Chain A
């Protein structure tokens, strides 16, 4: 793992660099540190969600409910803030994480205990979560003037030159990096996705591992829910609509194999940053949003084609050469 993924990450990193250089050649201001920090901060929610999605995809599942989870948690904490403006922010964050983790656990239980395909489970819960937002909010918005200043101010507080939102993303990357490389849970995730049968024989509970992957993804979605609503200072039914696909795209571009078992934290982060740069850089150089979509789409296809090829060189080639030598 340690050896061949850096190759893929290096390619993706170079692609991001080339993109930035190209944009800088037309608009030098783009590469100013303050602007790059802005781009990173803007991409932070995508990075956080991509980490959770990566864990889920590595176990051969998918979580389409992340954006709806984010929106529901965001609405819930916004309404709690309106009702109880005195509630300290750490408590709000804890509530957001737990609420998100609980929704992830619902996905996890359905996948684990009822063996429903993850895509069906999360398609269902995605719709249900959005519906619940409508029910609890009556379809009304929670606007910035209703929220407490501490609530909206926290993600934007600047610490050591970066907003808290960016620091949260960086912390999440470090925590997940350690979790994937240095804990039994991280190792189990790779084993479950890489070879579920072997994992069973090794004494790893495949369903349970998938359950915890969904909980991790849900917890991050919940955390992002608060950050998102606070940052944009508004909560409504449709926030982050369709964002789940961007999250999956970041993972795929980052080399996380949709078939599970192959991928890295670095890849997921770079995939998210790639999409973030595309989204922020192209308008600067007057490229139409349609091209943005086309570029993102092409990046997905190229990444998948690239992964499919590198995955296929194993085993099959051996058979082919054996046939040739016959």
Chain B
């Protein structure tokens, strides 16, 4: 609050990140990026999924430590060893999913951890509520500090999170996709609040995929791509088209396998799949030997639809035909029986059973084939597991080894081997190369092409544009739970994909749908 809102852009940034690098095993999440945040200004951080935005937020809030580079606060270098250090210099983040306590009152949520104390060291409840109510009044919240948090809707919970951020006298407020769960009216209120914060001289880092939002409230932009810094500047000096080009411009040219083979007959036909909240009116067909890409922003409803297709959740309506016959898929077991399998995105959580050895992970969905008279035959299991481990070139000392000791890429192979062993017709791969190193990525792509050439139909959900363009025969772009467009291979370009995914239709380049 000590800073007056400056007009001049050459004022010292409150936060200045310079040549910041962060490496995870096998992945360089951030490569010498820079990011400056100015008092009284909103900086939009723009980039595709996987550009390094979340990592940046985690570094700024002290959750991750950097591997290289400098963070300066008011020009002085600092190092954050814990989230506490970041909080001390006044950096606070409002996350997509706000972390609050349902069973406590609004005031307690705002002041948990730093409540005002009486002289005896007890919490000064009266003071706490007075302060909280003042904060709530400042941001125009329509509820009192005594309200139980659980009685508030998502938008109001967001306000509590913002009040909490302000209660620690924050100088830097990070908003990570704050409008994702809000209605149109609530978004307008949020914009007003952002203006209030600006007027108070706070530096705001605003992360959003929505271009209208960025151009509505941001003063500056910074673009990341694949963990690298692409450019920054004043919003007034840039157009939507220029921003998109900066976001998607191909940096690394990956080599994708040649995909030349004939696509066969229709295997899967989905008509009118809808869900009460997640997606609606999904229609498409999938042919034998085809790779169908599903592109969209996070939250577009792709994974939710796939889960319904696989029988984990139930669609409210819609028809699924496999080889022309209507099939009712109520559970994953039904899906597997009809030759549809799903390799989930989060291997750790949904794919591998840590604690079972490799071969038992591979045979888990095929146990009825490896048993006789109700008893499993270990020799059969080993045979089946070995066959698919070899087909996938799995690198493991022994199939009896615990799956937890394998690398990410090899774990992915085990999960894929598990599904291929069921001899499916359709395989759904959800972000098949997320979080694995570049070498394993190429192997997964190679393998995917091979599967398709052998007549397996592949649905590939991916947020990586090069992968979508390099691998797919056709692409369905989803936005807000609906199919935005369907593109054939020849119409694919990074710009088209981003346009449809983000819902930018006003451009002169136009869509191809």
Contacts and interface: CB of A to CB of B under 8 A. Distances in A.
A187 B331 CA distance: 19
Interface string A266-287: 0000000000000000000000
A87 interface: no
B25 A318 contact: yes
Interface in A176-207: 178, 181-184, 187, 190-191, 194-195, 197-205
Given A187-B367, A191-B364, A201 B353 contact: no
Contact of A200 (B23, B332, B354, B360): B332
A204 B331 CA distance: 9
Interface in A230-269: 261-262
Interface in B425-469: none
A184 B354 contact: no
A183 B404 contact: no
A191 B356 contact: yes
Interface in A295-326: 314-315, 318-319, 322-323, 326
A319 B24 CA distance: 9
A202 B365 contact: yes
Interface in B323-376: 331-333, 335-336, 342, 344, 346, 349-357, 360, 364-365, 367-368, 371, 374-376
Contacts of A323: 65
B333 A4 contact: no
A224 B312 CA distance: 39
B23 A201 contact: no
A322 B65 CA distance: 12
B351 A198 contact: yes
Given A2-B357, A315-B404, A182 B312 contact: no
Nearest to A193: B355
A1 B360 CA distance: 10
A184 B353 contact: no
B350 A182 contact: no
Contact of B365 (A195, A203, A261, A262): A203
B402 interface: yes
B275 interface: no
B67 interface: yes
A26 interface: no
Nearest to B310: A201
Nearest to A197: B350
Contacts of B310: 201
Contacts of A197: 344, 346, 349-350
Nearest to B67: A326
Nearest to B333: A203
Contacts of B376: 181-184, 187
A191 B25 contact: no
Nearest to A2: B400
B333 A195 contact: no
12 contacts: A1-B356, A183-B376, A184-B376, A190-B353, A190-B360, A191-B353, A191-B364, A202-B364, A202-B365, A203-B332, A314-B405, A323-B65
Interface of A: 1-4, 178, 181-184, 187, 190-191, 194-195, 197-205, 261-262, 314-315, 318-319, 322-323, 326
